Amino acid sequence: DAGVTQSPTHLIKTRGQQVTLRCSPISGHKSVSWYQQVLGQGPQFIFQYYEKEERGRGNFPDRFSARQFPNYSSELNVNALLLGDSALYLCASSPVGTGTGELFFGEGSRLTVL
């Protein structure tokens, strides 16, 4: 079975631009979470979506938004990019989103903002 897949794997943007990152969860998983990992730090929680509804939001500005589609895939959007948005963006999926199971992570999308 395929794991969590993310696209694109690498991308370069300039300040002020907008970016969309995509995530396909493991088949059968209904919960998707997004994390930002700045170089040298641990991942920071951005969003959780379960059954297409937002379940949780981390301490990120409104420039960050996300959504989940009927097939449980998800997109993370970041508007008005800043240099500080340069990071590895990780997507994780779990079966029910209630915290009782493992979270499975993708390999991430590495965003560089110039």
Partner 1 sequence: AQKVTQAQTEISVVEKEDVTLDCVYETRDTTYYLFWYKQPPSGELVFLIRRNSFDEQNEISGRYSWNFQKSTSSFNFTITASQVVDSAVYFCALRSYNTDKLIFGTGTRLQVFP
Q: With binding defined as CB under 8 A, does residue 90 bind partner 1?
A: yes
Closest CA to 56 of 92, 27, 87, 24: 92
User: Count residues contacting partner 1 (CB under 8 A)?
Assistant: 30
Query: Which is closer to partner 1, CB of 79 or CB of 103?
Result: 103
Among 24, 31, 68, 74, binds partner 1 (CB under 8 A): 31
Phi, psi values for residue 93, rounded to 5°: -125, 155
Among 76, 97, 111, 113, binds partner 1 (CB under 8 A): 97
Please check whether residue 34 is in contact with residue 23, taking contact to mean a CB–CB distance below 8 angstroms: yes
